[in-house]
């Protein structure tokens, strides 16, 4: 499957948003490594689950301007810190203690890291995702910056 970087794979998530970062000596470039063909189906399914979260955020909090960052249509945006990761980048994160696992679900296209939405605490964001969004994410981890969600 050939997808152009700006191709929307859900209503609000572009293909390039799912790409891995790459580490170079002294710096990291974000979203420069495209998932391999063997991961495309998983990545798209994970994007669909993330879209459910964005849709429910707007359904639940769309009227409350104190919640979230808005796009030009006044919808709450859902950003991701990390989606699919190349194994080399995942291993670098582990080696530098920025990740707790060498492998994990990111390199398989089964995970996404979602920074907390403005106006919602990380724990409230986690509970919102787990109990209100009807996603297929089955494992979560709450951090000070947000929520890791994956499908196991």
Q: Is the pLDDT of residue 2 over 90?
A: no
> Does residue 136 or residue 101 have the better pLDDT?
136
Q: How confident is the model at residue 100 (pLDDT cuts 50, 70, 90)?
A: confident
Q: What average pLDDT score do residues 62-70 get?
A: 96
Look at residues 143, 121, 136 and name the one whose alpha carbon lies nearest to residue 46: 136
Distance CA 80, CA 50 (A): 9
Provide the mean pLDDT of the chain: 96
Distance CA 142, CA 114 (A): 10
Q: Is the pLDDT of residue 148 over 80?
A: yes
Cα-based distances in Å from 107 to 63, 69, 104: 36, 28, 7
- pTM for the complete prediction? 0.94
């Amino acid at each position: 499957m050939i997808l152009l970087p700006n191709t929307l794979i859900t209503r609000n998530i572009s293909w390039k948003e799912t790409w891995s970062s790459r580490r170079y000596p002294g710096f990291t470039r974000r979203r420069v490594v495209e998932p391999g063909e063997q991961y495309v189906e998983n990545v798209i399914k994970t994007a669909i689950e993330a879209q459910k979260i964005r849709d429910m955020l707007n359904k639940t909090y769309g009227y409350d301007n104190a919640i979230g960052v808005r796009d030009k249509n006044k919808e709450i945006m859902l950003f991701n810190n990390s989606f699919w990761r190349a194994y080399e980048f995942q291993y670098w994160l582990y080696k530098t203690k920025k990740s707790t696992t060498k492998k994990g679900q990111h390199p398989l296209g089964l995970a996404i890291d979602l920074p907390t939405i403005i106006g919602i605490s990380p724990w409230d964001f986690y509970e919102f995702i787990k109990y209100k969004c009807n996603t297929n994410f089955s494992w979560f981890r709450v951090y000070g910056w947000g929520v890791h969600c994956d499908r196991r």
